[in-house]
Structure 1
Amino acid sequence: MFREKMPLWRNFSVWMLCIPSIFWSIFAYADDVKLNKNELKSLYEIAWERQPESKSYQFRVDAALAKQKIASSFLASPASIEIAQKTDRANSNQGASETIAGLGIPLWLWGERANSIGLADAEYKRLLSQYLLIQLKVAAEVRDAYWSYKRSNVELDLANGRFQNAKALSFDVEKRFRAGDLSRADLHQANGALANAEASLAEAQANFINAEQKVRSLLGVGMVEKSIKTGLLNQLAEPIPKVPDNLSSLDFNLPVVAALLDQLEVAKKAVSLAKAQTRSTPELQLLTTRGRDVYGVPFQQSITLGIRIPFGSDSRYQNKLATTTAEMVEAESQLALERERALSNIESSALLVKTARLKADSSEKRAVLANETRSFFEKSFRFGETDLPTRLRIELEASDASRQAAVAKINYAVAISNLRQALGLLPE
């Protein structure tokens, strides 16, 4: 009697060992949010330190500050010294000699210095806002790679759980087929389900490798290996930002709008400077001359004060003015378009967060019900009350529900990240 029921007890023990691991793989992701809260921020900081813009930023700031000092100078350009010597030793040698020493002082045109200071200040402010835009671009790449990795990691775990479950079921069906309890058709169906689960596992492994390579390209080979081995990449969601009802109040707080406003201000200052620069820079000249005509005559010394004024050129003036005006008009149009696009993106991203949350909740409920149903049919199949096709269908539905629930959680976290990206917030 006991020997006859040995295969049944052995199959029951196999199922009891597999079920806890399967359920753990499904519901373990609910506790991921309790792990490293600053993980995405840490990954972003690692990626940002590797960017060329991060390494060159301080030098660009130094250049902008130096340009402000140049614009604030009292001279349009550095002063110049002129020295000349005149003599007749190579010709008649009558003792003629003349020494000239002069100083050239470039002068600002009317309004040129004030407009140059304004342009330098506007360019420095634009540098700061453009720096934040570059940071947000890198943050978008990190977020995309991070959540792709998380999604592929979740799908790989679920595919592995499904494969192990199908393998255990196939092992059980094969033993029962040998015992004469099930037909060869049942065995083929179980093996077909195992092959399907194995193909899904291979596809999940390929997706995981691609996602891992994408993260590797951002963080570097050594950092990715360290992050994976030390258990990083466990966070599931960033903090949900607050979105005001009146989105127009976000105009000056949005980095893309602020950067375009700074760009427009630079264009306006460039137009004002172009209007002031109607000609090349004039130069104040101060010269002293010391010389004599022949030997025996005392040296005479004189001082000359003059100014050099270049002629203006209408074509050069109109070219520069038209170019800067075109840039100003383009900046105004781009500001209007990007402002409307940014506000629309925020509105749609906020709605997607709500819908993703609802989908995640409903998917989780479906997964719980599907797994409870699977446990019911598992018992009935073990006691011969349910046929194998029904058992396989219930198993497939439970696996699909578990996958949808896990992916829905990731999509909810992605929606939050997209909303934060639209608001111009860096990873936290």
Structure 2
Amino acid sequence: MATMVLPAFADSPLATAFELAWQRQPAAVSFAERQRAVDARRQTADALIAAPPSLELGTRSDRFNRNQGARELEAGLALPLWLPGERSGSQAVAEADANALSGRVASLRLDLARQVRELWWGWQAIRNERGLADERLAAAQRLRDDVARRFQAGDLSRADLNQAEGVMAQARALQAEATAAEALARYRLESLTGPLGEQPGATTAARAGAMATPAGEPVIVVPASAKSAGTVVSTTHPRLLALQAQGELARRQADLVRVQSRSNPELALSTRYDRAAAGLENEQTWKLSLRIPFGGGPRHDARIATANAEALEAGAELALEQERLQRESGALRSQFAAAEAQLAAATQRAALARENRGFYEKSFRLGESDLPTRLRIEAEAFEAERALSSARIGRERTLSQLRQALGLLPE
């Protein structure tokens, strides 16, 4: 079966940075309490009565008018009752609310992953620029030393030595600029994640290879059937799950509103002790009553219309988001294929440039080539290394963006 390469699940510094950032988010801090609220709503929906019972106490006396000793005491207990279908509807809303909370948290985590990925790869690109600047300075120092030796031997002029010194000064300035840019990029990332601690440096090996591949997200194999727009975005995508849960909650709430056409009826049981006058015995009576409120009307119609509108809006938003994600993933697959091709070409170019630089370094030391040629070869090698570094970062960034579009968190 034909396949295409996509990022896989594996621990990485990016995943660590993401988890550090999530722990600092308000949604993560408040999640436990929100879960408690959901559990409480479930318990409320599972209760045998619609609301807590109420105790009624009352007394009546003629002390302030006739004052003949008449007295009446009354105590009762009122139990709010569920409307037909209200309890099952409330249970469905509570379950949908729990799913909506899980979906909302998953969607927030994915949104945070996008921010972390953008800042992470921006930092990695600048770290590689810093590594390139270090290598350029080292190459400039080697060139300056070679020119100084030939100047002492009388092969080169003072102007050639000054030119080599200028190249080294320029490389030192670029290194300082890259160092400052790296510090700023790290500050922006750590503003989201908190302190990251020591990270592996972006190293170069001018003789053996180019910039080290930055720590990103590894690779998995996805069937070629996933290339079609309709099958790329999984139904388990956090954004889609969140919108589905939101839509289900809106529909359940609309169903519940239809049932709740009036206030809850109340079943009351009360007892009364009364005495007609002083000296007479107390008499006790019992009362069982049912209170049924009237309902319906414009107020209830407005609640139904609002609930229906929210359900329709959630369904429309889900369809739009699914279409957007399908198009985004298709575009990113094409970008990823292009990034792979660019990386292959940049790798070949850098290898050839490193080989040529080795040849001309040797020939320059032997006095077989002049300084302008050596400077041109060094510039070409540096640009080739920069292009390779940019291609590697571009591939990893596109890989990460494709993973984001597919709803996968950094791992």
Scaled by the length of structure 2, what TM-score is found? 0.87
Q: Distance in 1 between matches of 2:341 and 2:351?
A: 16
Query: Residue 80 in 1 paired to residue 80 in 2?
Result: no
Name the structure 2 match of 1:225: 197
Query: Residue 357 in 1 paired to residue 340 in 2?
Result: yes
Name the structure 2 match of 1:415: 398
Q: What SS class does the counterpart of residue 253 from structure 1 fall into?
A: coil
Q: What SS class does the counterpart of residue 240 from structure 1 fall into?
A: strand
Are the aligned partners of 1:283 and 1:308 in contact in 2 as well (CA < 8 Å)? yes
Name the structure 1 match of 2:358: 375
Alpha-carbon deviation of 1:144?
A: 2.5
Q: What SS class does the counterpart of residue 69 from structure 2 fall into?
A: coil
The one-letter code matched in structure 2 to 1:137 is D
Name the structure 1 match of 2:92: 118
Name the structure 2 match of 1:130: 104
Q: Distance in 1 between matches of 2:349 and 2:183?
A: 30
**Which of 230, 235, 254 lines up with 1:248 in the alignment?**
230
The one-letter code matched in structure 2 to 1:240 is I
The one-letter code matched in structure 2 to 1:55 is V
State the Cα deviation string for residues 150-202 of structure 1 (Å, max 9, x = none): 22222211111101211332343345446543234434433343333233222
Q: Distance in 2 between matches of 1:296 and 1:53?
A: 69
Instruction: Within 5 Å, give how 1:268-347 maps onto structure 2.
Output: 268-312=251-295, 314-347=297-330
Question: How many residues are aligned here?
Answer: 389
State the Cα deviation string for residues 262-313 of structure 1 (Å, max 9, x = none): 1111111111112222222222222221102112322222222223333436
**Which of 373, 378, 381 lines up with 1:398 in the alignment?**
381
Alpha-carbon deviation of 1:49?
A: 2.3
Alpha-carbon deviation of 1:336?
A: 1.0
Percent of aligned positions that are identical: 40
Q: Distance in 2 between matches of 1:215 and 1:165?
A: 31
Alpha-carbon deviation of 1:395?
A: 0.5
State the Cα deviation string for residues 213-245 of structure 1 (Å, max 9, x = none): 123223323xx234569x9x9624423352623
Q: Distance in 2 between matches of 1:226 and 1:386?
A: 43
RMSD (Å) for aligned C-alpha atoms: 2.4
Q: Distance in 1 between matches of 2:398 and 2:315?
A: 31
Higher helix share: 1
Q: What SS class does the counterpart of residue 108 from structure 1 fall into?
A: coil
Q: What SS class does the counterpart of residue 289 from structure 1 fall into?
A: strand
Query: Residue 142 in 1 paired to residue 116 in 2?
Result: yes
Are the aligned partners of 2:12 and 2:217 in contact in 1 as well (CA < 8 Å)? no
Alpha-carbon deviation of 1:118?
A: 1.2
State the Cα deviation string for residues 378-427 of structure 1 (Å, max 9, x = none): 22222333222221111001011012112212221222222221111222
Are the aligned partners of 1:278 and 1:312 in contact in 2 as well (CA < 8 Å)? yes
Q: What SS class does the counterpart of residue 124 from structure 1 fall into?
A: helix
Instruction: Within 5 Å, give how 1:253-268 maps onto structure 2.
Output: 253-268=236-251
Q: Distance in 1 between matches of 2:11 and 2:255?
A: 50
Which stretch of the first structure deviates more once superposed, 105-114 or 244-253? 244-253
Which stretch of the first structure deviates more once superposed, 173-182 or 133-142? 173-182
Instruction: Within 5 Å, give how 1:45-194 maps onto structure 2.
Output: 45-177=19-151, 179-194=153-168
Return the structure number with greater relative CO, CA threshold 8 A, min gap 6: 2
Q: What SS class does the counterpart of residue 197 from structure 2 fall into?
A: helix
Q: What SS class does the counterpart of residue 225 from structure 1 fall into?
A: coil
Structure 1 residues 367 and 162, CA gap change in structure 2 (3 angstroms) = same
Which stretch of the first structure deviates more once superposed, 150-159 or 377-386? 377-386
The one-letter code matched in structure 1 to 2:395 is Y
Query: Residue 389 in 1 paired to residue 372 in 2?
Result: yes
The one-letter code matched in structure 2 to 1:388 is L
Q: Distance in 1 between matches of 2:238 and 2:322?
A: 10
Query: Residue 426 in 1 paired to residue 409 in 2?
Result: yes
Q: What SS class does the counterpart of residue 14 from structure 2 fall into?
A: helix
Are the aligned partners of 1:238 and 1:417 in contact in 2 as well (CA < 8 Å)? no
Are the aligned partners of 1:241 and 1:420 in contact in 2 as well (CA < 8 Å)? no
The one-letter code matched in structure 2 to 1:108 is W
Are the aligned partners of 1:39 and 1:234 in contact in 2 as well (CA < 8 Å)? no
Name the structure 1 match of 2:7: none
Q: Distance in 2 between matches of 1:288 and 1:321?
A: 40
Are the aligned partners of 1:275 and 1:321 in contact in 2 as well (CA < 8 Å)? yes
State the Cα deviation string for residues 32-90 of structure 1 (Å, max 9, x = none): xxxx9543333333332232222222221221121112112221111111011112234
Q: Distance in 2 between matches of 1:45 and 1:182?
A: 58
Name the structure 1 match of 2:175: 201
Are the aligned partners of 1:251 and 1:339 in contact in 2 as well (CA < 8 Å)? no
Scaled by the length of structure 1, what TM-score is found? 0.84
Alpha-carbon deviation of 1:138?
A: 2.5
Q: Distance in 2 between matches of 1:307 and 1:192?
A: 98
Name the structure 2 match of 1:39: 13
Name the structure 2 match of 1:235: 215
